[in-house]
Amino acid sequence: MPQRIDSTPRADGYRMPAEWEEHAGCWMLWPQRRDTWRNGGKPAQCAFVDVAEKIARFEPVTMGVNRDQYENARAMLPPQIRVVELSNNDAWIRDIGATFVVSDQGSARGVNWKFNAWGGLQKMMYFPWDQDDLLPIKMLEVEGLDRYDAPLVMEGGSIHVDGQGTLITTEQCLLHTNRNPDLSRGDIEDYLADYLNIEQIIWLPRGVYEDETDGHVDNICCIVRPGVVALTWTDDRSDPQYERSAEAYDKLMSARDARGASLEVHKIHQPDPMTMTREEAEGLDVVDTAFLRPQGERLAGSYINFYIANGAIILPQFGDRRDEDACRKLAELFPARQVVGVYAREILLGGGNIHCITQQQPAGHASSSA
């Protein structure tokens, strides 16, 4: 039965595995906010069902849902998806949920980060976020896994790891004053080292242009395997994304991972710039306590925001001329996995994509702690 543990994963011999390591399953949350998801959330719910159903072909999926949407979610989802009550303020479980760590002996535990809804009152993405902040505890209780409480405001989408001591993040997000104003870069590095078992941190300067998370790494760059990364790219030098991808590219080309090796960087060309249409914007409720999503806003579209499932890549598609090329490149980078595309504009309209709405739980049993 679950316990709160006062030490750190590093001290206890636990590490965050890479996303490509074997999963016990995948967690998602059901979208319903009328100010994030247009038309009462119905189009997004259909898109989430599509993502869940496709992941469930490869690994078990658990959908967390607020009580007022329980019957609707259960009815819309296929029976192989487990639906559990998990109160939440919005559906971005990558950022809200627990991060799982594993030991060499095959036991799993969870890390409960502090959460302030991507910047707290300074940014005011939405208010309140009390249920989101409790979510990691509830996930771990359902699974009966022990828990570490990390004293760091952090979202899961702001990091990628190779499972061998390397972490990639962005300065734009993790050093932002709206996250941990009282912590230095060194303090933050120490916490990442302690709670994820990290030896080497690669700091990219910024994330994707107009990414409302303050530049989460999971929309700009991800790790394919140790020593190999993929980066969102544009050949259009007039696009504001160009200099962001170019500076990340330079940084990555000069970086060393935890093994001391240099990185192989693969560019994945972004879809053509997309903006929110008038019809889409008009489908959103306007509320004082949440971010406004106006017509004409540039959407932070990127193929990098995919999910690695057991044996598959679940890849966003936008109806864009670059969709096919992204599929082909990912298939080359992950030759042992099936690339499964999902039309994901409805998820992107909410401010993220497939990686943001999923959280892998690595294979691993409960530890028998004190």
- Catalytic (active-site) positions: 356
The single residue among 23, 54, 138, 176 that binds its own copies, judged by CB under 8 A, is: 138
The yes or no reply on residue 227 touching its own copies (CB under 8 A) is no
The single residue among 24, 124, 137, 246 that binds its own copies, judged by CB under 8 A, is: 137
The yes or no reply on residue 121 touching its own copies (CB under 8 A) is no
Name 37's Cβ contacts closer than 8 Å, sequence gap at least 6: 31, 43, 44, 45, 91, 284, 346, 349, 350
Closer to its own copies by CB, 39 or 87: give it.
Answer: 87
The single residue among 74, 114, 225, 298 that binds its own copies, judged by CB under 8 A, is: 74
Closer to its own copies by CB, 85 or 279: give it.
Answer: 85
Q: How far is the CB of 83 from its own copies (least distance, A)?
A: 5
Q: How far is the CB of 84 from its own copies (least distance, A)?
A: 5
| 3-state secondary structure string across the chain | CCCEECCCHHHHCEECCCCCCCEEEEEEECCCCCCCCCHHHHHHHHHHHHHHHHHCCCCCEEEEECHHHHHHHHHHCCCCCEEEECCCCCCCHHHHCCEEEEECCCEEEEEEEECCCCCHHHHCCECCCHHHHHHHHHHHHHHCCCEEEEEEECCHHHCEECCCCEEEEEHHHHCCCCCCCCCCHHHHHHHHHHHHCCCEEEEECCCCCCCCCCCCHHHCEEEEECCEEEEEECCCCCCCHHHHHHHHHHHHHCCECCCCCECEEEEEECCCCEECCHHHHHCCCCCCCECCCCCCCEECCCCCCCEEECCEEEEEECCCCCHHHHHHHHHHHCCCCEEEEEECHHHHHCCCCCCCCCEEEECCEECCCC
| Omega within 30 of 0 (cis) for the link into 136 | no
Only segment of 38-46, 80-88, 232-240, 350-358 that touches its own copies (CB under 8 A): 80-88
The single residue among 16, 26, 55, 81 that binds its own copies, judged by CB under 8 A, is: 81
The yes or no reply on residue 110 touching its own copies (CB under 8 A) is no
Only segment of 65-73, 92-100, 180-188, 245-253 that touches its own copies (CB under 8 A): 65-73
The single residue among 13, 22, 80, 240 that binds its own copies, judged by CB under 8 A, is: 80
Only segment of 16-24, 93-101, 140-148, 186-194 that touches its own copies (CB under 8 A): 140-148
The yes or no reply on residue 83 touching its own copies (CB under 8 A) is yes
What is d(CA 306, CA 339) in angstroms, rounded to the nearest whole number? 10
Closer to its own copies by CB, 6 or 288: give it.
Answer: 6
**228 strand-pairing partners:** 225, 264
Closer to its own copies by CB, 69 or 178: give it.
Answer: 69
Site residue total, its own copies (CB under 8 A): 26
The single residue among 57, 82, 114, 225 that binds its own copies, judged by CB under 8 A, is: 82
The yes or no reply on residue 141 touching its own copies (CB under 8 A) is yes
**Which positions from 313 to 342 touch its own copies by CB under 8 A, shown as an x/- string?**
------------------------------
What is d(CA 344, CA 348) in angstroms, rounded to the nearest whole number? 6
Q: Site residues for its own copies, window 1-30 (CB under 8 A)?
A: 1-4
The single residue among 12, 39, 70, 124 that binds its own copies, judged by CB under 8 A, is: 70
Q: How far is the CB of 192 from its own copies (least distance, A)?
A: 27
Q: Write out the residues near its own copies by the rule CB under 8 A.
A: 1-4, 56, 60, 67, 70-71, 74, 79-87, 131, 134, 137-138, 141-142, 144
